[in-house]
């Protein structure tokens, strides 16, 4: 019980919950939402600039060299997980609000999270080097792959990948990352020395994005759409998705013949999902009125993966050898 409560005390979870509560009480509407969205866009630009500064080019090159691990991982994350998201989305659309059901497809198309995937791989005694490089490569690929993959599988529903959206992705996500890579030789040490402060940058920007998205959704009646039954269904479907993702990622890595420590790296890099990519991408692909619905499964998945990952990693560490 204490371990469960400690997950709810995680700063990222606390900030996400505060953002949702604040949006429920004092939603940003009209000009306030325009201003909040502009602030969030600037924050996302800075966030991806810093990401470009802190992901080493040598790590990216090592990832391309070890294709026997990273190619299956990419196919798993952007193939199997995306198709699983599509399946659950189709099932959920008969029960839940269609925009919330579509969130399962969006969730399936997202890359894994870098920080927790590598942290739990370390705790579990897995191959940390593979985890770091794998999560970094998947996140970089996600900036380019998630939006078109979602648009193709979703059939253009709600989010259309038109020239305006492509321009926003290029300007807010890709351009700052490229700039960060270009200046990395001068900035890497500076960024590394301020790692704890940068983590707070991640949290603050994501919280602003969630606040803007949920403000729009609250205005559209999100709060009135959930009964105990529909809320329970959302929780159950998200939990099934997460448990199936972890179990099958572990099974697939075994079928591929990876040693135990590589399987652990594959598990955490392949089954976890990134709110750090998901929230900015949702803000670009959808209007705030839609984004708040779509990211609901992602936020719940993020909470559940934190609750599951710690005891799972501890169990791996205990059974090591």
Question: What pLDDT, on the 0 to 100 scale, is given for residue 84?
Answer: 95
| DSSP state at residue 183 | T
- pLDDT tens-digit profile of 183-207? 888 888 888 888 777 778 777 887 8
Quick: pLDDT tens for 238-265: 999 999 999 999 999 999 999 998 999 8
Task: Encode pLDDT of 123-181 as tens digits.
Answer: 788 887 777 777 778 888 888 888 888 988 886 555 555 566 667 777 887 788 889 88
Q: Which residues contact 275 (CB under 8 A, 6 or more apart)?
A: 12, 16, 113, 206, 298, 299, 302
If one looks up domain 10-315 in CATH, what number appears?
Answer: 1.20.1530.20
Give this prediction's pTM: 0.81
Q: What is the DSSP letter of 30?
A: T
Closest CA to 294 of 166, 105, 156: 105
Other CB atoms within 10 A of residue 85 CB: 27
pLDDT per residue as tens digits for the range 39-52: 888 888 887 788 78
What is the model's pLDDT at position 63? 61
- Using CB atoms within 10 Å of the CB of residue 164, give its burial: 0 to 12 exposed, 13 to 18 middle, 19+ buried: exposed
């Amino acid at each position: 019980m204490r371990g469960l409560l400690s997950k709810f005390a995680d700063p990222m979870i606390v900030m996400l919950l505060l953002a949702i509560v604040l949006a429920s009480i004092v939603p940003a509407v009209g000009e306030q939402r325009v201003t909040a969205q502009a602030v969030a866009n600037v924050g996302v630009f800075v966030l991806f600039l810093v990401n470009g500064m802190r992901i080493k080019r040598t790590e990216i090159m090592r990832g391309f060299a070890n294709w026997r691990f990273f190619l299956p991982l990419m196919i798993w994350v952007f193939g199997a997980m995306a198709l699983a998201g599509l399946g659950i989305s189709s099932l959920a659309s008969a029960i839940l609000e269609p925009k919330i059901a579509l969130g399962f497809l969006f969730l399936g198309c997202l890359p894994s999270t870098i920080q927790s995937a590598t942290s739990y791989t370390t705790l579990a005694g897995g191959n940390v080097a593979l985890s770091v490089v794998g999560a970094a490569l998947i996140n970089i690929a996600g900036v380019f792959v998630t939006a078109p993959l979602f648009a193709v599988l979703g059939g253009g529903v709600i989010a259309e990948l038109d020239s305006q959206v492509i321009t926003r992705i290029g300007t807010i996500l890709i351009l700052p990352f490229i700039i960060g890579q270009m200046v990395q030789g001068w900035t890497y040490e500076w960024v590394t020395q301020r790692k704890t402060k940068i983590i707070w940058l991640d949290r603050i920007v994501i919280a602003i994005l969630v606040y803007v998205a949920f403000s729009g959704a609250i205005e559209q009646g999100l709060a009135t759409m959930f009964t105990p039954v529909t809320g329970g269904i959302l929780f159950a479907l998200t939990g099934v998705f997460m448990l199936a993702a972890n179990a099958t990622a572990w099974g697939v890595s075994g079928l591929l013949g990876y040693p135990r420590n590589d399987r652990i790296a594959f598990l955490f890099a392949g089954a976890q999902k990134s709110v750090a990519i998901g929230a900015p991408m949702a803000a670009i692909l959808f209007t705030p009125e839609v984004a708040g619905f779509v990211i609901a499964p992602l936020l719940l998945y993020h909470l559940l993966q934190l609750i599951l990952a710690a005891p799972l990693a501890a169990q791996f560490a205990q059974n090591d050898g």
